[in-house]
Amino acid sequence: MSEELKPCPFCGAAANIEKEVDSGALDEYTIRCMSCLARTVIRYSEDKAIQAWNKRADCDECDKSYQKSVDELMSECRRLSSLCESYRESEQRVKL
């Protein structure tokens, strides 16, 4: 039995399995979102198409990567702020 389709990873809408039969060739399957029209690449079995559609990124890994980027940006902002403050202080000394 085939696995149930997950909602679209982009908009959350329902998706359908589309089967195309090319004369004399293998059946071709894709999964397409009914709302935003996102779709998988062609697979030659319904199960493989469903597996491709249902595959999702590891959210924990995405969150860690995002947090690392935020931390690096915040660190750089603090560094630049400190440089700006040092520059302002040096300007003040020059004016005196």
pLDDT, tens digit (0-9, with 9 covering 90-100), for 30-87: 999 999 999 999 998 999 999 999 998 777 777 787 788 888 999 999 999 999 998 8
Q: How far apart are CA 9 and CA 53, in angstroms?
A: 9
Answering whether pTM is above 0.85, one says no
Residue appearing with tokens 């690096």: 72
Residue pair 5/31 in contact by the 8 Å Cβ criterion: yes
Pick from 17, 58, 13, 54: nearest CA to 36: 13
pLDDT at 17: 94
What is the structure's pLDDT at 23?
A: 63
Query: Going by C-beta distance under 8 Å and a sequence separation of 6 or more, which residues neighbour residue 58?
Result: none
Sequence-separated (6 or more) residues with CB below 8 Å from residue 12: none
Cα Rg of the chain, angstroms: 26
For residue 24, what pLDDT is reported? 65
